[in-house]
Structures are given as structure tokens and as C-alpha cells.
Chain A
Amino acid sequence: EAGVAQSPRYKIIEKRQSVAFWCNPISGHATLYWYQQILGQGPKLLIQFQNNGVVDDSQLPKDRFSAERLKGVDSTLKIQPAKLEDSAVYLCASSPHEESGRWHYEQYFGPGTRLTVT
């Protein structure tokens, strides 16, 4: 079974530039997550999709970050404009469909995109 795919693996940009990350979840997984992992920290959720609808985006800095999941499969995360503090690894994860209120499936992570903002 193919895992979660992400691209690019690495990206270096200057502050105030824009950048986009792409994620392809495990086939059949309805739920998709984007996490930000700063060096030495655990991953922090940015946004969660169930199919192509947003379940939770409470921690997404909406003035500069945006995400979409067209057709309930692939997803893109965009940062515009980038700040120095956005330097981190951006992880995408997916899990199977959850019945409302159950939430018991584990999440499977992709390799991440390492972003450096200079």
C-alpha cells in the first residue's frame, strides 16, 4: 500500500515570498491533516479535512496560510507572505473515514516538507 506522498521535500524562500506544498493521502483515506513541526517540538495541527470539508482550522494563521482539498483527495497548503518563524517541517497525514464522534483511527504521516525562510 502506497503511503502519504508530499512534495517538494525541501524549499528555501525569502521572507515575504509565497510557497505551496502538495499532499496525496493514502488511497481511500477520507480525513487529511496538515501539521507544522518546528525543530525540537512535536507536530502541531494546522488544519483537518474530512473529504473536502474543513473540520478544524482553529490553529491555522488565516492571514497568511490557506489550504484546500479539491475533490476530497489531494490537498495543497499555501503560505503568503512567508515569515521567518514559518521555518519548519510541514507534515501531511491521513486516516480512514471516522464515524461521527468515534475518532479512533491512527494517522499515517508523509515524509514532510522542510521549509527554510531566510
Chain B
Amino acid sequence: EDQVTQSPEALRLQEGESSSLNCSYTVSGLRGLFWYRQDPGKGPEFLFTLYSAGEEKEKERLKATLTKKESFLHITAPKPEDSATYLCAVRYGGSQGNLIFGKGTKLSVKP
């Protein structure tokens, strides 16, 4: 059973069409939930860390929220340059500081 599940696998939006990506997790003792952006041919780029339910963080058009079982990455009025794969990862008490990644959501924003 996957410990981190992301949905949808792929999302196509028109420029300006807001939406949300989901990351659900089953681990206990969460020590942090991380969002990364990955462009083709590049390594993941750090976006946010969330530590406790109710926490929210924002960066430009992106806003990440966290509940006890899942996190959402809200994208407001996206632009074509927001097209990328968004990866969610968790760190928990039994993971020795390591990150357990989901499979990612591939976002395409068309002009």
C-alpha cells in the first residue's frame, strides 16, 4: 500500500483556470509534508514544508494547506510557466529523516 498518494496523475488547465492538487498520506507521526516542483530534465525544486494540521503557506500563485490526512496545493490563475510535475513527500517518525515521495501530478497550463 502506497504511503503517499497524489491525485490526479495529470491535470490540464487553461491559463487563469484555478484548481487544486491533492496529496493524501497514511503514515503516522508526521514530521513534515513537503511540496516540490520538477521540470523535465531537472531535479525537484523545493516549494513548501508544512508541519501541522491547519498550517498554510503561499508563494506567488501557489498555496499549500495541510489536514491530518492530506494536503492540497492550490493554484490560482495559473500561467503556462507553472506547467511542471508537482511532487509531494512526507517525513515521519520512522523514516530516519528520509522523504517518502508520491508519484506526482503532471500539470499542463495552456495559453
Give residues in A with beta carbon < 8 Å to B: 4, 31, 33, 40-45, 48, 55-56, 91, 93, 98, 103-104, 106-112, 114
Q: A106-B49, A109-B43 are in contact. Are A31 and B89 (CB under 8 A)?
A: no
Q: Could you tell me the distance between the alpha carbons of A114 and B32 in the complex, rounded to whole angstroms?
A: 29
- Shortest Cβ gap from A34 to chain B (Å): 11
Q: Which of B14-22, B61-69, B70-78, B92-100 contacts A (4 or more CB under 8 A)?
A: B92-100
**A31 partner residues in chain B, CB cutoff 8 A:** 97
Quick check: B98 and A42 within 8 Å, CB to CB?
no
Q: A42-B104, A111-B43 are in contact. Are A104 and B32 (CB under 8 A)?
A: yes
- Shortest Cβ gap from B89 to chain A (Å): 7
Quick check: B96 and A55 within 8 Å, CB to CB?
yes
B101 at the interface (CB under 8 A from A): yes
**A91 partner residues in chain B, CB cutoff 8 A:** 43-44
Chosen A-B contacts, 30 in total, with CB atoms closer than 8 Å, are: A40-B103, A41-B103, A42-B4, A42-B89, A42-B103, A42-B104, A43-B87, A43-B101, A44-B101, A45-B98, A45-B99, A48-B97, A48-B98, A56-B96, A91-B43, A93-B43, A98-B97, A103-B32, A103-B91, A103-B95, A103-B97, A104-B32, A104-B51, A106-B34, A106-B46, A109-B45, A110-B43, A111-B41, A111-B42, A111-B43
